[in-house]
């Protein structure tokens, strides 16, 4: 698998390690939970196909989307290296998903066959965790916006980078959850911002029409 976790490790070495680790493939249908809040964190996961939404559900029914992970991404890993006894978020399949489940015991000692590249996997895991820390920092930055217009402006500017247009895989419902609002409120504000000449909104694309105006709201 060409993912960051297995960087600098050959396919033959991957097969050997995963056999020793007793890793297995698991398939999930859209909307199915890979794990839920309160489950014991005994494994980490690599996406072989599809995408998975990482979110926090509240008793009120409100959902806060933390981020989405895609093919070749890793998730659930932060709980393997902490004292947390339960997951505090959910992992939900956005579409038909196949994941590779790797038991936590693999990361707490060398496998019985003393794989030469075992240490490389542990080193690569540090890189993976660094990337996840970046995602969480980005989410905190976006949620610092006091109004929905501010959060949208910050998200559009951050997603576009130095360009003027970008495409997103997130559906409107997912984007609304990610920005901490409802879908009707999001759609209404997007249309308002389009009418104001700030952005142009397509089905899955966004185009910046007035960067200076967006930056005013993102300050």
The pLDDT assigned to 161 comes to 87
Q: Are strands 97-103 and 199-201 parallel, antiparallel or unpaired?
A: unpaired
Q: pLDDT truncated to tens, each residue of the chain (219 aa)? A: 567 777 777 788 778 778 877 889 999 999 999 999 999 988 889 999 999 999 888 777 778 888 888 998 888 887 776 777 888 889 999 999 999 998 887 776 655 554 566 667 766 676 666 666 666 677 777 777 789 999 999 899 988 988 999 999 888 988 888 888 889 999 999 999 999 999 999 988 999 999 999 998 887
The pLDDT assigned to 200 comes to 95
Structure tokens at 52: 């998975």
| Domains, the chain | 4-142 (2.60.120.10), 145-218 (1.10.10.10)
Give which of 46, 41, 42 is closest to 14, Cα–Cα.
Answer: 46
The pLDDT assigned to 117 comes to 65
The pLDDT assigned to 134 comes to 65
Nearest-angstrom CA–CA distance, 146 and 205 = 24
What pTM did the predictor assign? 0.59
The H-assigned helical ranges of the chain are 11-21, 118-143, 148-160, 172-178, 183-195, 211-218
The pLDDT assigned to 129 comes to 67
């Amino acid at each position: 698998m060409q993912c960051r976790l297995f960087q600098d490790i050959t396919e033959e070495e991957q097969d050997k390690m995963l056999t020793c680790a007793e890793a297995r493939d698991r398939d999930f249908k859209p909307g199915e939970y890979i794990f839920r809040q309160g489950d014991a964190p005994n494994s980490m996961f690599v996406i072989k196909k599809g995408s998975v939404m990482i979110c926090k559900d509240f008793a009120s029914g409100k959902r806060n989307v933390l981020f989405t992970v895609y093919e070749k991404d890793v998730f659930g890993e932060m709980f393997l290296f902490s004292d947390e006894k339960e997951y505090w978020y959910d992992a939900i399949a956005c579409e038909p998903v196949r994941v590779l489940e790797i038991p936590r015991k693999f990361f707490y000692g060398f496998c019985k066959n003393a794989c030469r590249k075992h240490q490389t996997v542990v080193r690569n895991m540090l890189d993976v965790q660094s990337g996840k820390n970046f995602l969480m920092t980005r989410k905190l930055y976006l949620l610092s916006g006091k109004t929905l217009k501010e959060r949208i402006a910050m998200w559009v500017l951050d997603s576009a980078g130095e360009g003027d247009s970008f495409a997103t895989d997130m559906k409107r419902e997912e984007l609304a959850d990610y920005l901490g609002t409802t879908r009707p409120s999001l759609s209404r504000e997007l249309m308002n911002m389009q009418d104001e000449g700030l952005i142009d909104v397509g089905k899955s694309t966004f185009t910046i029409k007035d960067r200076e105006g967006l930056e005013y709201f993102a300050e």
